[in-house]
Chains A and B, each alone.
Chain A
Amino acid sequence: MEQYMIKMENVKYEYSSMGEDSQLMAINSINIAVKKGEHLVILGHNGSGKSTLAKLMNGLLLPTEGNVYVNNMNTKDEDKVWDIRETAGMVFQNPDNQMVATIVEEDVAFGPENQGIPSLEIRKRVDEALRIVEMTEYKKHAPHLLSGGQKQRVAIAGILAMRPDCIILDEPTAMLDPIGRLEIISTIKKLNKIEKKTIVHITHYMDEAVEADRVLVMEQGEIVMEGTPREIFSQVEKVKRLGLDVPQVTELAYELRKEGINIPSQILTVEELVKAL
């Protein structure tokens, strides 16, 4: 089991809606194994259960049934809570809700300070984290004057400074403009490829899934599709039925095939389609 960063076994999660007696099933019998070093993307429309899944992955929520292991530690084990959170860090949607300090570098230092790390070591980690997200020149700035993409990179640096092996990002680009989105996508890629972090990236933007090693699609608390980005997106009808998009060129290739034109089904980019035609 050591090759897995996160392992979920028969996980169920139920919650009760306000003022109602009935239990609602947010997650239903899920089995997932995230390999060390993997870049996993979880897709699903709003309400499909993907954020609940994320919170189960570092013990913010505990499963109603089944077990979640983070680097072999069960999230139900109270003694391990801090170890688990240090292993799997989490980045949320709204960067404004994740800022705690009035200066960028102090914000990044907040995590390691709470871990009781000596201050020289904190200094080193903060500098390193800001370098990785390319925000070093802003270290003395006030976070509220940064752009959305910059704020979100500071939030990622704050997690990096705690040196987790795994980073879980829950719709990190949903509130950003196109430039901010590109900044975050390239940061995530760097964290995975260069810093060798295991990445679990939750999103409803399909174009962010194109570079993943593996994609899971969720619907009503269950995993309904699994595969490489190409395998997933070539199933145009099914993906659309699940309330998600495919790239426009993938859709065009699919439509042309339906008309009997002979081109490959697994087209993801403009260049691939130009070549195929």
Chain B
Amino acid sequence: MIIKIENLNYIYNPNTPFEKKALDNVNLNIDKGDFIGLIGHTGSGKSTLVQHLNGLIKPTTGKIIVDGMDITSEDANLKEVRQKVGLVFQYPEHQLFEETIYKDIAFGPKNLELKEGEVRERVKKAMELVGLNFDDLKDRSPFELSGGQKRRVAIAGVLAMKPKVLVLDEPTAGLDPRGRDEILGRIQKLYEEEGITIILVSHSMEDIARLVNRIVVMHKGKIAGEGPTKEIFKQAEELEKIGLGIPQITSFMRKYKLEGNKVRDDILTVKEAKEELINYLRSRGNA
């Protein structure tokens, strides 16, 4: 288990008229190597929760253990915490500030007081992981790049810290379909090849369905559901009740089954649906 959250509560503006309970007794275990999708509509507490994971916010009450270390204790070393959990915010490209891509990505590792050679290796590797050519791009200004590329530079800056857990808050917001597919493809590769634990916060059920193996559903500061992706998306009515949906393809297969067709209703992608339907239609003798 890489992350253990116990009885976590967080209250914004305590003891004022604006007091608001953002997290309400959250308990959650995340295993090493999990790819978690964190879903919930705006204001459900997702962002507040992920900001706790690397010590940006201290809980009002409760405990968070990351990789064996209690990050909520008084004497927790935040520098160490942030090497364990890398957090990529929404619109991370707004945080780029250096004059070259190299310097921007090297900023974190340099602050760890690593040797220049090690910093360089890390920058190179991080750029490879997000699909940016080191030799061509390292001396260019990050501000000359396209939106999708800028975002990849920002993600590389977090990866250069070699985190064990990578948290991405809406990494595809505002990108067009091509930029979105580029980023998601890179994230998937990162997961498969580097064995890193990933938490993906997203409003897109299609993206979640395509990538993650477990889903955590948040609603009004509480965990409203947790389980394997297929299990969670079977609960369409419950998800709709809290303002969420399921992928269009999953919704289609469910409706088709309700019409009396004997097909699986836990389909997550177009590819799966195609295979299932072809088998079904051929066995029915219609094809």
Contacts and interface: CB of A to CB of B under 8 A. Distances in A.
A175 B174 contact: yes
23 contacts: A45-B179, A46-B179, A175-B174, A177-B41, A177-B42, A204-B176, A204-B177, A243-B176, A243-B177, A244-B176, A248-B248, A248-B252, A249-B248, A252-B249, A252-B273, A255-B270, A255-B274, A256-B277, A256-B278, A259-B278, A260-B287, A270-B252, A273-B256
B281 interface: yes
A98 to B, nearest CB: 16
A251 B176 contact: no
A204, A248, A273 interface centre (most CB from chain B within 10 Å):
A248
Contacts of A243: 176-178
Nearest to A244: B177
Interface of B: 41-42, 146-148, 173-179, 203, 206, 243, 245, 247-249, 251-252, 255-256, 259, 261, 270, 273-274, 277-278, 281, 286-287
A177 B203 contact: yes
A274 B255 contact: yes
A259 B286 CA distance: 12
Interface in A219-272: 243-245, 247-249, 251-252, 255-256, 259-261, 270-271
A270 B254 CA distance: 10
Nearest to A270: B252
A119 to B, nearest CB: 35
Contact of B256 (A247, A260, A274): A274
Contacts of B175: 46
Nearest to B287: A261
- By size class, the interface of chain A is 20 to 34
A178 B40 CA distance: 11
B41 A179 contact: yes
Contacts of A66: none
A147 interface: yes
Contact of A273 (B177, B178, B243, B252): B252
A179 B179 CA distance: 23
Contact of A252 (B146, B261, B270): B270
A178 B170 CA distance: 12
A83 B273 CA distance: 53
Contacts of B278: 256, 259, 261
Given A243-B176, A243-B178, A179 B252 contact: no
Interface in A152-181: 174-175, 177-180
Contacts of A274: 252, 255-256, 259
Given A179-B243, A260-B287, A261-B278, A247 B179 contact: no
A38 B259 CA distance: 37
Contact of B177 (A175, A245, A256): A245
Contacts of A270: 248, 251-252, 255
Contact of B146 (A47, A174, A271): A47
A47, A174, A249, A274 interface centre (most CB from chain B within 10 Å):
A274
B249 A249 contact: yes
Contacts of B255: 270-271, 274
A126 B64 CA distance: 50
A233 to B, nearest CB: 13
A194 interface: no
B248 A247 contact: yes
A277 interface: yes
Given A46-B147, A179-B42, A270-B251, 13 more contacts: A45-B176, A147-B42, A177-B41, A178-B203, A179-B41, A204-B176, A243-B178, A252-B249, A252-B273, A270-B252, A274-B255, A274-B256, A274-B259
Nearest to B90: A175
Given A251-B270, A259-B278, A277-B256, A175 B173 contact: yes
Nearest to B257: A274
